[in-house]
Structure 1
Amino acid sequence: MYAMSDLRSLIEEMVTRHLPDDSHFLVEVKISPKGDQSLLNILIDADQGVTIETCAKISRAVSNEIEEKNLIDNAYRIEVSSPGVDFPFSGSRQYMKNIGRELKVFLEDGKEIKGKLLSVGEKEFTLQVKKKEKGKKATEEEASYAFEDVKKSIVQVSFK
């Protein structure tokens, strides 16, 4: 009926339309076959976190719209949730919401950096990283990284 990329775009538009306010945003829509049905995995986030009620409302609204417009021929299942802490960031908005947290950043050149997220700009972000020199006490310094140089960034969970 629809090409997968067209269907994904339609669902992204639906989700965005049904978000409760500007503090909420779409992270990802993934559609994958699961046996004889399709799985629609919708990830949303918000500046102050996502509630179960918001996920349920979006799930119902998107499902109703899919049914009304007859967008999917076969059986399907919708899962709406927020990305887990181990899910890589997909945009600057997720960086903004995690200022003050420890990140692990994987750069395109293969380097890995850990540091505390201090600030986020339009094209880059700044971390406070520990710099270790042989025979000396570790010091902390600020370092900025361009989004285009980053393969992925994830929050480091601390159990202290």
Structure 2
Amino acid sequence: MSWQQTLEQTVTGLGYDLVDLERSAGGLLRITIDWPWDPAAPQERFVTVEDCETVTRQLQYLLEVENVDYKRLEVGSPGIDRPLRHEVDFIRFAGEVVDINLKEPIGEAAGPGMAANRKKFRGTLERAEDGVTWQVVWSDEPERKPGQRVSKKAKPLPMRALGFTLDEVRDARLAPIVNFKGRDAGKAAPDTQD
């Protein structure tokens, strides 16, 4: 068994998922952890500093026993641009805006108005109608600035969809979209009556 497999077993044994393992030429060993996803859970749990400390302490012992050469160990949470690596990640984040990078350009299936050599897409992740493949749905319409006037004659650009299988994906991530107005910005404010 390789030290990477032992490391993954250790992280899993502590109750976390190993999201990513990265080893740089400078001796940095970067481990990304997350709580396992439970679709039945009412609220999602987030990785805390204490969780990272727990995993770091355990992995320092493991890496010493396995005689792994590294200069610095870094354990962290996936962040807002979390990588999507497995089928369960795609299921978990269906409906979210993602960045998809394909292994090969889309070629002949490009359709009108789309470059045939395009590999990168940003849009909403959805399960395709066949229930097997995935699709990313987007519009090429530029985002409007707050207060910007829109002509009544302007027609919205059509939505586009690109179907793909997980084998065709080089990498996929949640799109790092930040809302500085807070989590409840999209919800209507409750009525206050005195």
* TM-score (ref. length: structure 1): 0.69
For residue 128 of structure 1, what is the amino acid of its counterpart?
V
Give the CA deviation at 1:148.
Answer: 0.5
Runs of 4+ in 1 over 4 A off after TM superposition: 73-76, 120-123
Larger proportion of helix: 1
Inter-partner Cα distance in structure 2 for 1:8 and 1:100? 32
Q: Which amino acid counterpart does residue 152 of structure 1 have in structure 2?
A: D
The structure with the largest alpha-carbon Rg is 2
CA contact (8 A) 2:21 2:32 kept: yes
Q: Which has the higher strand share?
A: 1
Q: TM-score, normalised by structure 2?
A: 0.59
2:24 and 2:132 map into 1 onto residues whose CA distance is: 32
Of all paired residues, the percent bearing the same amino acid is 22
Deviations, residues 79-138 of structure 1 (Å, cap 9, x unaligned): 111223345422223323322221121112232222112338985323333378xx9642
The runs of 5 or more residues in structure 2 that have no matched partner are 38-43, 106-118, 142-153, 180-194
Structure 1 segment 41-80 matched on structure 2, within 5 A: 41-46=30-35, 47=37, 48=44, 49-67=46-64, 70-72=65-67, 76-80=71-75
User: How does 1:7-156 map onto structure 2 within 5 Å?
Assistant: 7-18=3-14, 20=15, 24-32=16-24, 34=26, 38-46=27-35, 47=37, 48=44, 49-67=46-64, 70-72=65-67, 76-86=71-81, 88-110=83-105, 111-119=119-127, 124-130=133-139, 137-140=156-159, 142-156=161-175
Number of corresponding residues: 145
